[in-house]
């Protein structure tokens, strides 16, 4: 993906962008999963924008393109999707928001983008197993992501330092 010209041609020829593959992924889902390579493959945000004009569906596991892009750490695509109004607090079948997905993978920059926006992704949101994005980042050992999420968690600001000999 990332080939804007090819996508424009396909859309102009009437390609059905809402068709899903065996995993329930549409062209938009696949574009959101693609991360620019180190070799400089860019344009994914542009492709996502083109496809968003046609469809903004959810895949077979309840994930939006925003959740998929967050899981891959694609900051460019995440920003594009947020700018287009995709819900940063939409939950998939596991109860994961895009922030859960980014935190679990340790994508600190993506977590920062998701939590700095106006309505702010909810750091304390629980998935179906009762885990927050912070818990997922800690379980996976993503220290810098844990620090960011602690900083963004309003509840933690109420306890700047635990008193000696406390359970906090």
pLDDT digits (tens, 9 = 90+) for 126-166: 999 999 999 999 999 999 999 999 988 766 555 555 445 44
Question: Torsion over CA of 79, 125, 129 and 135, rounded to 10 degrees?
Answer: 80
Residue 51 has pLDDT above 90, yes or no: no
The phi, psi pair for 58, rounded to 5°, reads -115, 140
Q: How far is CA 56 from the centre of its chain?
A: 14
The neighbour count for residue 13, using CB atoms within 10 Å, is: 7
User: Residue 126 has what pLDDT?
Assistant: 93
Is pLDDT at 72 greater than 70 in this prediction?
yes
Overall average pLDDT of the 67-80 stretch: 89
The pLDDT of 16-21, averaged and rounded, is 71
pLDDT at 47 over 80: no
Q: How confident is the model at residue 112 (pLDDT cuts 50, 70, 90)?
A: very high
* More reliable by pLDDT, 118 or 76: 76
More confident residue, 21 or 111: 111
Least confident of 4-13, 42-51, 86-95, 100-109: 42-51
Nearest CA-CA partner of 143 in 134, 153, 155, 131: 134
């Amino acid at each position: 993906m990332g080939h804007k010209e090819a996508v424009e041609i396909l859309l102009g020829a009437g390609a059905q962008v809402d068709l899903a593959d065996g995993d329930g992924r549409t062209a938009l889902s696949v574009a959101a999963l693609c991360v620019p390579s180190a070799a400089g493959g860019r344009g994914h945000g542009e492709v996502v924008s083109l496809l968003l004009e046609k469809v903004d569906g959810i895949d077979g596991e309840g994930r939006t393109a925003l959740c998929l892009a967050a899981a891959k750490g694609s900051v460019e695509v995440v920003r594009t999707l947020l700018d287009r109004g995709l819900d940063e607090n939409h939950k998939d079948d596991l109860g994961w928001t895009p922030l859960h997905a980014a935190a679990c993978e340790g994508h600190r920059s993506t977590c920062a983008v998701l939590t700095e926006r106006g309505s702010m992704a909810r750091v304390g949101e629980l998935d179906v197993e009762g885990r927050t994005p912070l818990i997922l980042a800690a379980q996976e050992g993503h220290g810098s992501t844990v620090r960011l999420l602690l900083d963004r968690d309003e509840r933690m600001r109420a306890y700047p330092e635990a008193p000696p000999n406390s359970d906090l």
